Amino acid sequence: MGYRVGVDIGGSFTDFALFDEATQSLKTLKVFSRPDEPGAEVLEGIRLVGERYGIRPEEVSYFTHGTTVGINTVIQRKGLRLALFTTEHFRDVLEIARLKIPDMYNLLSKRAAPLITRDLVFGVTGRLRADGSVQDELDEASVARAVEGARAAGAEGIVISFLHAYRNPAHELAAKAIVERLAPEIPVFCSNETWPIIREYERTITAAIGAYVQPRVAHYLGSLQQALKDVGVTADPRLTKSNGGVMTAEQGKNQCVQMILSGTASGVIGASYVAEICGIERCMSLDIGGTSADVAVIIGGQPQYGVGEQIGEFQIFIPSVSVSSIGEGGGSIAWIDAQGVLKVGPESAGSRPGPACYGRGGTRATITDAFAALGLVGLSEIGYSAVTIDRAAARRVVGELAEALGRTIEQTAEAIIRIAVSGMYSDVSALVSRSGIDPREFSCLAFGGAGPMMACFLARELGMQEVVVPTTPGVLSALGGLIADLKSDFIKTLYADLDVATAAVIRTEFAMLKERAVDWLRRDQGYDGTYALKYSAELRYRGQSFEIDTALDPDTIAACDVAAMAASFHREHERIYGHADPHAAIQVISLRIIVSGKTAKPDFPRRKLQPGPASSTRQAEVWLDGAQRQIDLYRRADLIPGQTFAGPAVVTQDDCTTVVPPGYVTRVDEYANLRITREAAQ
């Protein structure tokens, strides 16, 4: 027995969730992030955990870690200088992309400059047909010329992405062998080894992103492993993955593309767990940290998955938890543009200097400063005593904007909040339209350091009837990584008609995918427990441009039952689009298996309800909803399941502040979550 530790590094704070395997209790902690020295915050947290809770490093039996090193490398464009080897005459694959502009409503918007500039793209002679057969043999001399050109241009890594490599990887592997022989000092990456999917651009950009971040991620993980050993943590660290699972740090060094979205995925996994145990059928998670606000849809306690998630200016086509960035975080800076219009973000004050009210050198107003200036934040210590809010500093920096705008400090602070919420409203509206859902039917599960602070304001605009604040909202992402299962995806592209002959191939390919999946779990992850396999196929009607991931029953696959497979697709098409064509021909694009092994989960106790009004600790003067108000202040630790109180109110706790506007009533449920609902009269 020991402690299972989950860590999530955010833009402002690094969060720790510590699960005691003996007592089944959960402890939490926050420390400031160190973007100047990634990993230092983890070691500082381990030290403070010892001081605060008396937990020795050698007592850590399990360690999971969500990191933003990969995604930040792409956003900041600080990765490898890469060369790209393509099939001859296809050098423009990254330049052309999908011929889409980033913003379809802005005719002046431009696609981002590719991660690999065209002078570092080299065509290689050799061609495969669409069925994977060889049309022209790979020309070794052309590969050698490409290597020479890449080396002369100062390439630090080489990505190889040839036509139809998802069908037949032979040419890519042969070219890789040549590169390793001629230039052993240059790392080389093949698209078929990164993620072997159909469509040249999608496969190429995914491989390019993986190669681009690999050295920084590998160096970071190696340093983290050594540092943990140095302080006495013997557990081998695991990493949260983009698909909501975890894998070993050693695997992450070589397959870093699989964990590039690990930080955002962890939060959704934590939110899904809370939604599941609380029986919340339709839930929208709202994760607001120091730099961004992210939202995800959770149905029946399960997050939604997809491909094509945005990494900075690019999409990456690996299976991942579907998370959409919808706005700014608590550290996002408010500013006035050249036309005298107040704006918020996207620039963030980050961890240092941070918001002015943190007293760490910040001199520009942020969203957190706006709440502090109104008196809504700073009514108690936050960040586990790491921060003492300086309200005077917040009013000073907001006041500078107020003077320029000719408004009062309170009006300006509320305007900052309204602008931030307005941006979130717009982006959530677009998301729910694409997803075909009605936010009025969903609960908003708010977490992150700033999520409970802003959730009611966004929910009010969207017409959502309930906001749920879990017991440890500020560290829910760390908890998500802690409870995530071992999980991995395996894919095989077929691109064939769904018929009797293909059904036999499907059965054979699934058998090989299963073998790979179980081997990954047993050998690579050292897992010896029971596991689950999920089978699916990406199917479409012949002539359609995009496919639908359709769950398949293992018995149907074993029986080669084409009719049952087709029926599953027709039902899924009907569910998504409202219609299906049972007589149309169906194509199988790819097969997928997801393997997962269960990890230990905290057992959140269900407590007996004790109905009655909650007792406030005191009252405070704040500015809220356009007026000076006397509000009740509550300590989260004092609230008992079954108690209720009405807004306006503020709830304080170590990891965040919850703001309850007028017109809302809060009930503490049997799991000690805050269930904030609109009053019937509203």
**DSSP code of residue 196:** -
Q: What percent of the chain shows pLDDT beyond 90?
A: 59
pLDDT averaged over every residue in the chain: 90
- Answer whether residue 647 shows pLDDT above 90: no
Cis omega before residue 661 (within 30°)?
A: no
Residue 389 token pair = 């809010």
- Answer whether residue 386 shows pLDDT above 80: no
Instruction: Quick: pLDDT tens for 555-603.
Output: 999 999 999 999 999 999 998 888 999 999 999 999 999 999 988 777 7
Least confident of 11-15, 183-187, 512-516, 518-522: 11-15
The SS3 call for residue 307 is: coil
Average pLDDT over residues 255-268: 84
- Apex CA 580: angle with CA 577 and CA 581, to 5°? 150
Average pLDDT over residues 357-373: 93
Instruction: Quick: pLDDT tens for 16-29.
Output: 889 888 887 888 88
What pLDDT score does 310 carry? 78
Q: How confident is the model at residue 681 (pLDDT cuts 50, 70, 90)?
A: very low
Count CB neighbours of 353 within 10 A. Answer: 15
| CB-based contact 541:579 (threshold 8 Å) | no
Residue 451 token pair = 């999520």
Residue 519 token pair = 């081997």
First vs last Cα of the chain: how many Å apart?
A: 51
Q: At what angle do helices 200-231 and 40-53 cross, to 10 degrees?
A: 40
CA distance 676 to 665: 6
Q: How confident is the model at residue 151 (pLDDT cuts 50, 70, 90)?
A: very high
Higher-confidence residue of 29 and 341: namely 341
Please report how many Cα atoms fall inside a 13 Å half-sphere around the Cα of residue 142, on the Cβ side: 18
Instruction: Quick: pLDDT tens for 463-472.
Output: 998 999 999 8
Q: How confident is the model at residue 538 (pLDDT cuts 50, 70, 90)?
A: very high
Would strands 627-635 and 612-613 be described as parallel, antiparallel, or unpaired? unpaired
Residue 225 token pair = 């492993």
What pLDDT score does 83 carry? 97
**DSSP code of residue 641:** T
Which residues contact residue 315 at a Cβ distance below 8 angstroms, ignoring those fewer than 6 apart? 202, 205, 308, 309
Q: At what angle do helices 391-405 and 409-435 cross, to 10 degrees?
A: 90
Positions of CATH 3.30.420.40 in the chain = 3-73+216-235
Q: What percent of the chain shows pLDDT beyond 70?
A: 98
| CB-based contact 214:80 (threshold 8 Å) | yes
Which residues contact residue 433 at a Cβ distance below 8 angstroms, ignoring those fewer than 6 apart? none
Per the CATH hierarchy, to which homologous superfamily does domain 3-73+216-235 belong? ATPase, nucleotide binding domain (3.30.420.40)
Instruction: Quick: pLDDT tens for 75-132.
Output: 778 899 999 999 999 999 999 888 877 777 777 888 888 999 999 999 999 999 999 9
Segment (H or E) for 158: strand 157-161
- Answer whether residue 314 shows pLDDT above 90: no
Residue 664 token pair = 């809302």
What pLDDT score does 52 carry? 87
- Positive or negative CA dihedral for 526, 531, 532, 537? positive
DSSP string, 113-141: PPSS-GGGEEEES-EE-TTS-EEE---HH
486-597 has CATH 3.30.1340 classification: no
Count CB neighbours of 348 within 10 A. Answer: 22
Instruction: Quick: pLDDT tens for 192-236.
Output: 999 999 999 999 999 999 999 988 888 888 888 888 888 889 888
Positions of CATH 3.30.1490 in the chain = 486-597
Instruction: Quick: pLDDT tens for 47-69.
Output: 888 888 899 989 999 999 887 77
- The Cα-based distances of 192 to 91, 156, 508 in angstroms read 18, 20, 20
- Answer whether residue 671 shows pLDDT above 90: yes
Residue 610 has phi, psi (to 5 degrees) of -125, 85
C-alpha closest to that of 2 among 45, 78, 53:
53
CA distance 121 to 93: 10
Instruction: Quick: pLDDT tens for 607-633.
Output: 999 999 999 999 999 999 999 999 999
What pLDDT score does 385 carry? 64
The SS3 call for residue 344 is: strand
pTM here is 0.84
What pLDDT score does 290 carry? 79
| CB-based contact 312:74 (threshold 8 Å) | yes
Average pLDDT over residues 366-377: 95
- Answer whether residue 420 shows pLDDT above 50: yes
